[in-house]
Amino acid sequence: MNIDFVILAAGKGTRMGGDSPKVLASLAGQPMLQNLINTTNDFKQSKRVLVVGYKANEVKRLIKTTKKTDWVKQNKQLGTARAVKQALKSLRRGSIAVILYGDVPLVSYSTLNKLVNQAKKDSLALLTFNKEIPHGYGRIVRKGKHAIDKIVEEKDASPSQKEITEVNSGIMAVKTRYLSKLIPQVQNNNAAKEFYLTDIVSLANKSKINVKALMLKDNVEVLGANNPQELHDLERAFQKRNAEDLISSGVYVADSMRLDIRGETDIGRGSFVDVNSVFEGNNKIGQRVSIGPGCFISNSVIKNEINQGGIFVKEISPVMKINLRGKKREFLTNIGKSLNMI
């Protein structure tokens, strides 16, 4: 079945403190929107519909995506439902529509796949999570253990509803024919006078469409960034995940909190990465390689069983000789045009 990802990316990001669109803020060396798009590209028969607004041409210029991508311009931000409504004409008949947010870039392939599978069963599938201090989030109001009645936004919640800790991530999946039926029914009868996407939950119940929730175990997947502090927290969470992925693949990492991967880096089994190492761009590191503390490695290839001290390596080249701690050594590996000793 075709999967159409609607990605809302129109925000200005005033609280970020800069002049660029929020979704272009750097995460692991590339725009955070790019990380999300890369995840959607892993789905076969997928298409992307990007709803952009502020500096739309800049977003389009800096983001790399497939030919199966439509760009939709949102001139006025009147709410998430209105943004999705503008994307409806780009959705394919018979597809599953998945609503995503350009500033929530860490949702995993596995989670999205589970959400899509729920939607295939004629359900409106919501991604929810528990938050101890739920201020600012839409609350999940249930009717019984398994059924969801509605989502109530913070501004419209009663005192008792504000005590609910299960909250809405905003991410959802539903068959396109249901979405096309529900979105036009959304009204702006609320305190903010906005067209809330969350209103389709109660509308789905009225239309006898099952509403199901997939509750996340790892809330990191739905971390967003609205200011520099949140962007910092997002970066650290992402880098920790990268380090843990390396560990699970058989790489020894001295400290998962002191490793940065900014781009695509492949490290072979049995290799060791010491603290404060940074990998930038595209890197290929062989098996049983030892990367010493404080290394910066950029766009390089290091073959098997190389012991790398504290160095700066940049750009790929065939073979080079360097003087390492007073001893002349030849690296029979692709190690770089420029190398600065630390």
180 alpha-carbon distance from chain centroid: 26
DSSP, residue by residue, 143-210: SSSS-EEEEE-GGG--TTGGG--EEEEEEEEEEHHHHHHHGGG----STT----GGGHHHHHHHTT-E
For the chain, the residue count is 342
E strand or H helix at 99: strand 96-101
Q: For residue 282, list its beta bridge partners.
A: 264
Annotated catalytic residue, options 15, 236, 288, 329: 15
Torsion, Cα of 240, 245, 246, 250 (10° steps): 140
Helices (H), the chain: 32-40, 56-62, 80-87, 109-119, 176-182, 200-206, 228-248
The per-residue b/e assignment along 76-93, b for 16 or more CB within 10 angstroms, e otherwise, is ebebbbbbbbbbbebbbe
One-letter identity of residue 230: E
Q: How many CB atoms lie within 10 A of CB 44?
A: 7
Structure tokens at 28: 């692991």
Annotated catalytic residue 15:
yes
Tell me, what DSSP letter sits at residue 222?
Answer: G
> Distance (Å, rounded) from C-alpha 61 to C-alpha 70?
14
Active site residues: 15
